[in-house]
Amino acid sequence: MRTQVGIIGAGPAGLLLSHLLHLNGIESVILEARSRAYVEGRIRAGVLEHPVEQLLTETGVGMRMRAEGLPHEGVILRTEGRDHRIDFKALTGKHVMVYPQHKIVQDLIAARIAAGGQILFEAEGVSIHDVRTDAPYISYEMDGRATRLDCAIVAGCDGFHGISREAIPASARQSFEREYPFGWLGILADAAPSSEELVYASHDRGFALLSMRSPTVSRLYLQCAPDEDISQWSDDRIWAELSTRFTRDGFSLREGPITQKGVTPMRSFVVEPMQYGRLFLLGDAAHIVPPTGAKGLNLAAADVSVLTRALTAWFRSGATAGLDSYSETCLRRVWKAQRFSWWMTSLLHRFSSHTPFERRVQQAELDAVFGSVAASTVLAENYVGLPLIL
């Protein structure tokens, strides 16, 4: 089989790349190790920056998002029983959109299939070859039969644990990483959200986040140990701890049946460069951010925007400037998002290593955000999203 762009991974990055390439007249084939049912049912966070919401709408895959998504014009920071609302609309003129990631995946899969796109689910033994030549290819097995996909470009969109990053020799890449000394215990609950907007709570017992998936489903998180034993957390214990961390006069936490619970470690990670020959890394294959700043999916969309523009110029005219500068262009935005995510994480979480001095400084920084329009504006500008291509 032959195509112009071979894409590894049918997550948001791979699907969006294939969709945008199609709109620009460029052929692609997606290879995905999992089944379609698994990919479409994989639950992930879904806070879309304003530029990403616009991108989905403008490229024809935003209809269900516009109907079912929840536009948010601010978020609430809570500490010591006090609230401070970051008013996105007043400070930036923009908003974010709460829309589950698995629905974005479903929308993109439907769009690709409707357009005749090829997504090969349950492709096994995927391997990348000859990316330093002008004839790279991807080998894989489908239904027990070995085959290969010849292409001009390979796009690695297969996540942090995928094979694409490892196809770059260790001598040709450098990794930057930080492991945080805590994780998030997250739950889904059949309960109406207790707030119309996200609430980020900094409490002496640790961080908590109140989010939502729909008007009837809440998504909530608790800071916990990275190796927390989830079996020790009964539903009653979870609700009691959430209630404690969100405490504020007049606030009542709505409870309901917990349908999902799990612990997520916290990590910051970047690999440089994000390209090697004809291989280009996108999304989690190249970078991971702690979820505090809601940047993971949005960074993937930014990578896709940069690569789509570069590939369109290359296939149409042979211009190589965009491809040559792909990594440099993406990393400008990646590191800004890393800084913001690290800052939000450091601002709101309790660190067991903090001295009393460091804890006081952390509280003072929160007070600075509460009391400064300038500081609130910087937070708002980063949260609603920088331009996809800087």
- Helices 12-23 and 296-317: crossing angle in degrees, nearest 10, is 30
Scan for tokens 């930080």, then name that residue.
178
Q: Name the active-site residue from 12, 50, 51, 72.
A: 72
7, 17 contact by CB (below 8 A): yes
Query: Which contacts (CB < 8 Å, 24+ apart) does range 124-128 have?
Result: 124/33, 126/8, 126/31, 126/33, 126/163, 127/163, 128/8, 128/154, 128/156, 128/163, 128/164, 128/167, 128/279
Q: Name the active-site residue from 99, 200, 276, 326.
A: 200
HSE (CB half, 13 Å, CA atoms) of 301? 25
Both tokens of residue 232?
């020790």
109, 87 contact by CB (below 8 A): no
Longest dimension (CA), the chain: 65
Q: Which residues contact 234 (CB under 8 A, 6 or more apart)?
A: none
- Helices 326-348 and 296-317: crossing angle in degrees, nearest 10, is 170
Does the annotation count 383 as an active-site position? yes
Q: Name the active-site residue from 50, 295, 326, 349.
A: 295
Does the annotation count 72 as an active-site position? yes
Comparing CA positions, the residue from 153, 99, 156 lying closest to residue 127 is 156
Q: Name the active-site residue from 221, 291, 326, 349.
A: 291
Both tokens of residue 256?
């309901």
Does the annotation count 291 as an active-site position? yes
What is the number of residues in the chain?
390
Does the annotation count 200 as an active-site position? yes
Catalytic residue positions? 72, 200, 291, 295, 383
